[in-house]
């Protein structure tokens, strides 16, 4: 069964694609502490708070919109799986 990627999946993918050196900038610009970013990136936190994921998602969408508008549109369509 194929499920749509979640917002958290998109955030996690972007964190993994970011260099360790970029984490400080992401933290500053998203408002999420650098330590929290590292814990999420390295799997120490598997279920972060919704507001943390939302802040990171908003940051990455804005970043993509500035650099790659087509990818930004794709990122905004990531949805939580339906609960049937």
pLDDT score for 56: 97
- Distances from the Cα of 71 to the Cα of 36, 56, 76, 77, angstroms: 25, 15, 9, 10
Contact between 40 and 14 under an 8 Å Cβ cutoff? The reply is: no
Tell me the pLDDT tens digit for each residue of 16-66: 999 999 999 999 999 999 999 999 999 999 999 999 999 999 999 888 776
């Amino acid at each position: 069964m194929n499920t749509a990627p979640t917002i958290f999946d998109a955030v996690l993918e972007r964190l993994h694609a970011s260099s360790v050196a970029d984490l400080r900038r992401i933290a500053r610009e998203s408002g999420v502490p650098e330590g929290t970013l590292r814990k999420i990136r390295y799997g120490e936190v598997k279920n972060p708070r919704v507001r943390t994921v939302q802040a990171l998602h908003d940051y990455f969408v804005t970043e993509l919109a500035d650099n790659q508008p087509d990818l930004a549109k794709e990122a905004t369509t990531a949805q939580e799986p339906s609960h049937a």
